[in-house]
């Protein structure tokens, strides 16, 4: 089996419009959650979110592209350009034929859907723009990445709600690990911050109206974010032969299904995915130094996740660090695991652990080292990234420091 390394990373999210500014914000424990700004926001009960601000897509894309790119596709392309530029790869010939793009996404072009429903239902129009369908389809982002970079190998989109990106990256890992592809572009994106998107979430009554405070006893729910995280997964010998800079190694993964409840998480399902990722990567539990938690800031997730970590790691659970960066960049739903993988790379490569900000009161049911409020320096050999989705679909990735 081939070893798989990361040779490029890109992002745009509420913390920054690229990887450097995002990691700087994570190091400083900055919060990207603000008052939401979009049409009809005053009709929402929840009006905060980690929105990408200061973003002018019309300076980055031409008129034809703008008519085809929903916001989630725009985010994806911006992040993909950064990641692929960093990798230094160009795709042609046999290499292009075997390299593909697998992305995670949950809502698709929700802004496009929202705007066009408004137009036909509220405004009574009987005509919509001809590109509504190619703009809103969940695979639009993956397809546009394939077109812009000439990726002709296995390409598709994975939807598993909040675990979409981790499932996608696990698939991309498998493509490279198994030898089918020398390089895969992977990660995910989401853009649900529009009236209909937030209104739907409001209904579940799990959203916070003031802040995302994972693991804190006074947490009161999740806060949505938006953006993209894109990575270049490359076969190790291929990367080494061309002298590429390696950000981290993807050592393994596991997926599991709770087969229990459509929204409530299960400790057993989460624990099976965490344990499975360690086994797949042939890592001992006591080698893990950092876990980027799913850590949504809901009552249910955080205590279940901590219990699962305690079960898998035993006494080592008290020695490892686990933080939720959602406190800063919000919950990017189908794109969240991708942006969170950046925190794992920062831990492994830079020895800096991103904090859980907004932490105010210890919760006995979340009694782990959650790296409260301030980033920390530590040497980390192995990091895990957890994602546990609505629907009970779990995916955990295991990363090692670059070889």
Partner 1 sequence: MDIQNKVIEIVAEQAVLEPSDVTLESTLESLGIDSLGLVESIFSIEEAFDISVPFNANEPDKSEFDISTVASIIKGIEGLIADQKA
Q: What is the DSSP letter of 346?
A: I
Closer residue to partner 1, CB minimum distance, 7 or 356: 356
Burial readout 91-119 (b: 16 or more C-beta within 10 A, e: otherwise): beeebbebbbbbbbbbbbbbbbbbbbebb
The residue among 259 and 300 lying less far from partner 1, judged by its C-beta, is: 300
> Which residue, 141 or 293, is less far from partner 1 as judged by CB?
293
**What minimum distance in Å lies between the beta carbon of 48 and partner 1?**
14
Q: Which is nearer to partner 1, 167 or 331 (CB)?
A: 331
* Shortest Cβ 331–partner 1 spacing (Å): 13
Distance in angstroms (rounded) separating the CA atoms of residues 294 and 65: 34
**Secondary structure (DSSP) of 12-47:** EETTBSSHHHHHHHHHHT----EE--STTGGG-S--
What's the rounded Cα separation, in Å, for the pair 9 and 163? 19
Strands 4-13 and 227-235: antiparallel
Helices (H), 88-224: 93-98, 110-117, 132-136, 140-149, 164-177, 195-204
By C-beta, is 124 or 364 nearer to partner 1? 364
Least CB distance to partner 1 at residue 78 (A): 33
Instruction: Report which DSSP code applies to 171.
Output: H
Evaluate whether 21 touches 15 at the Cβ level (below 8 Å).
yes
Total number of residues shown for the chain: 403
CA-CA distances (angstroms) from residue 306 to 301, 312, 320, 368? 9, 10, 12, 7
> Which positions touch partner 1 (CB under 8 A)?
45, 203-206, 208, 219-221, 262-264, 298-300
CB of 261 to partner 1, least distance (A): 8
Report in angstroms how near the CB of residue 36 gets to partner 1 at its nearest. 18
Residues that are catalytic: 162, 294, 331
CB nearer to partner 1: pick between 54 and 203: 203
Distances (CA, A) of 254 to 89, 149, 167, 268, 293: 28, 29, 9, 14, 15
What spatial distance separates the first Cα and last Cα of the chain, rounded to whole Å?
16
Q: In whole angstroms, how close is the CB of 58 to partner 1 at the nearest point?
A: 39
Find the shortest distance in angstroms from Cβ 103 to partner 1: 30
- Shortest Å distance, C-beta 268 to partner 1: 18
Residue 191 or 208 with smaller CB distance to partner 1? 208
Nearest to 49 by CA among 65, 67, 35, 39: 35
User: 46: how many CB neighbours lie within 10 A of its CB?
Assistant: 21
Whether 242 and 276 have beta carbons less than 8 Å apart is answered as no
C-alpha distance from residue 80 to each of 103, 144, 153, 266, 377 (Å)? 11, 10, 16, 34, 29
Nearer to partner 1, 219 or 272 (CB): 219
Strands 352-353 and 227-235: unpaired
């Amino acid at each position: 089996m081939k070893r798989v390394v990361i040779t490029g990373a890109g992002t745009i999210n509420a913390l920054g419009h690229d990887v450097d500014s995002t990691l700087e914000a994570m190091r400083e424990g900055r919060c990207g959650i603000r008052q939401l700004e979009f049409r009809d926001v005053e009709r929402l009960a929840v009006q905060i979110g980690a929105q990408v601000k200061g973003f002018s897509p019309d300076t980055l894309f031409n008129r034809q592209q703008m008519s085809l790119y929903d916001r989630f596709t725009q985010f994806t392309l911006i992040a993909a350009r950064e990641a692929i530029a960093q990798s230094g790869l160009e795709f042609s010939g046999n290499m292009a034929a075997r390299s593909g793009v697998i992305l995670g996404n949950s809502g698709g072009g929700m802004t496009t859907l929202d705007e066009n429903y408004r137009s036909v239902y509220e405004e009574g129009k009987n005509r919509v723009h001809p590109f509504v369908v190619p703009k809103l389809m969940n695979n639009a982002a993956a397809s546009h990445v394939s077109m812009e970079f000439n990726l002709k190998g296995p390409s598709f989109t994975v939807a598993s709600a909040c675990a979409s990106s981790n499932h996608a990256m696990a698939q991309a890992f498998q493509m490279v690990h198994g030898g089918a592809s020398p390089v895969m572009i992977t990660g995910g994106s989401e853009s649900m911050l529009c009236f209909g998107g937030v209104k739907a979430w409001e209904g579940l009554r799990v959203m916070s109206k003031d802040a995302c405070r994972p693991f804190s006893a006074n947490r009161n729910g999740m806060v949505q974010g938006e953006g993209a995280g894109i990575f270049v997964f490359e076969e190790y010998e291929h990367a080494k032969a061309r002298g590429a800079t390696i950000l981290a190694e993807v050592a393994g993964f596991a997926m599991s299904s709770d087969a229990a409840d459509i929204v409530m998480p299960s400790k057993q399902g989460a624990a099976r995915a965490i344990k499975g990722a360690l086994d797949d990567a042939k890592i001992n539990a006591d080698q893990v130094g950092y876990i980027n938690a799913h850590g949504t800031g809901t009552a249910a997730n955080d205590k279940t996740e901590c219990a699962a970590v305690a079960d898998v790691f035993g006494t080592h659970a008290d020695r490892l660090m686990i933080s939720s960066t959602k406190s800063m960049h919000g919950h990017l739903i189908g794109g969240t695991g991708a942006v969170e993988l950046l925190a794992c790379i920062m831990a492994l490569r830079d020895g800096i652990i991103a904090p859980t900000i907004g932490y105010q009161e210890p919760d006995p049911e979340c009694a782990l080292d959650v790296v409260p409020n301030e980033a920390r320096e530590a040497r980390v050999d192995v990091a895990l990234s957890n994602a546990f989705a609505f629907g009970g679909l779990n995916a955990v990735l295991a990363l090692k420091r670059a070889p």
